[in-house]
Amino acid sequence: MCYSQKGVSMDYEGRICRGPMERKAFMLPVTVGCPYNRCKFCELFTDLKYRKISMEDIENELKRVRSHGGSPKLIYLGDGSAFQLKASELADIIRLVRRYFPGASAFNSDATITSILQKSDEELAMLHSLGYNKLYIGIENALPDVLEFMDKDHSVEEAYREIERLTQAGFTYAAHFMTGVAGAGRWKESAKAMAKFLTVTKPENIVNFSMFLSADKLSKEIEAGNFKPATELENLKEERKLVELLEINPEHPIKWDSFHDWVHVRTSGTLPKDKDKILKILDAAIAKFENLPDLYSKIMGNPENDEGYGFVGQESLSLKDVYIAPEVNDTYVTV
């Protein structure tokens, strides 16, 4: 999820993004923006220049929180790729946090495959020994040509390898993926590849943010005829096929969260326990949209200049009876 936090504590720049699982954590920004910033599907940080936040500013924020009686146990290091920092820098930040909050028990953050690749096995083990626990990694898709076309900064092979190194060091990881990123007509092969990847790499959480069509890089590819977007119906079918194909050991359950913001569909629960319930909701959603005109999720900037895309207006259709697992109490969608 993305949260704007202007005027609260530190002077946050841009949109602060973190997974819904971290909503109870104290978010401590240590970087601003994204060091890569070239993925065609993403515009979260294109208006920001990547930089580190100074240790002085970080310490001032810790002082502020402590002065208000704060004593957080779980720390989420922001922004989009805090793990891009050197291992020594991250270690210094963890030690600084512990000076102010000795009870801090775990440190989590977003990461990229590249930021893991840049660290040795010894550095990963050292960070985990200090309390660095979980990384949220944007896998996005497990088809090699899709990652290449979208200019993602890792290959499928690198993702398999680096996550293995990460888990060997003791970390857990959460996998972020995006239905729709493979484009029209590819939902089934995309789901199969992603199911295989997730079954092998065994994340602790799986989060799907169904892809929006952005206003700049990806729209240019659409205009040039290089990318044909998937419909929201295809995106729902992709999620359904993925959930169907996932092979999860009941002794090692995985938390599942999936967002189709444009059509207000969310599935959330624990797999494999909630698998049948999630499939039932997706079946209902698919049945509804099969009888409607093609609908695409879009953020195209100027709604008056949509004629070339075949989008269906600006409307956002709603579904009833969206399944929310009992442990999720911040209802995201109208049910």
Give the 3-state DSSP-derived string for 40-86, with helices as H, strands as E and coil as C: CCCCCCCCCCCEECCHHHHHHHHHHHHHCCCCCCEEEEECCCHHHCC
Q: Are 96 and 125 in contact (CB under 8 A)?
A: no
d(CA 270, CA 231): 27
What does the pLDDT read at residue 47? 75
What does the pLDDT read at residue 280? 96
Distances (CA, A) of 140 to 21, 45, 153, 194: 18, 17, 11, 9
What does the pLDDT read at residue 328? 32
Residue 145 CB contacts under 8 Å (≥ 6 apart), including other chains:
none
SS3 of residue 28 by DSSP? strand
SS3 content of the chain, % helix, strand, coil (to 5): 40, 20, 45
CATH T-level fold of 1-136:
Transcription Regulator spoIIAA (3.30.750)
Residue 315 CB contacts under 8 Å (≥ 6 apart), including other chains:
none
Query: What's the distance, Cα to Cα, between the start and end of the chain in Å?
Result: 19
d(CA 43, CA 292): 29
Instruction: State whether the Cα torsion 41-2-186-195 is positive or negative.
Output: positive
The tens-digit pLDDT sequence of the chain (335 residues) is: 333 343 345 566 666 677 778 888 999 999 998 888 889 998 777 778 889 999 999 999 999 999 999 999 999 998 878 999 999 999 999 999 999 999 999 999 999 999 999 999 999 999 999 999 999 999 999 999 999 999 999 999 999 999 999 999 999 999 999 999 999 999 999 999 999 999 999 999 999 999 987 657 888 898 899 999 999 999 999 999 999 999 999 999 999 999 998 888 999 999 999 999 999 999 999 999 998 888 887 654 433 333 333 333 333 333 333 333 333 333 333 22
What does the pLDDT read at residue 305? 39
Judge residue 8's burial from the number of C-beta atoms within 10 Å of its C-beta, 0-12 exposed, 13-18 middle, 19 or more buried. exposed
Give the DSSP letter string of 247-264.
---TTS-EEEEEEEGGGT
Map out the domains of the chain as residue ranges: 1-136, 178-335
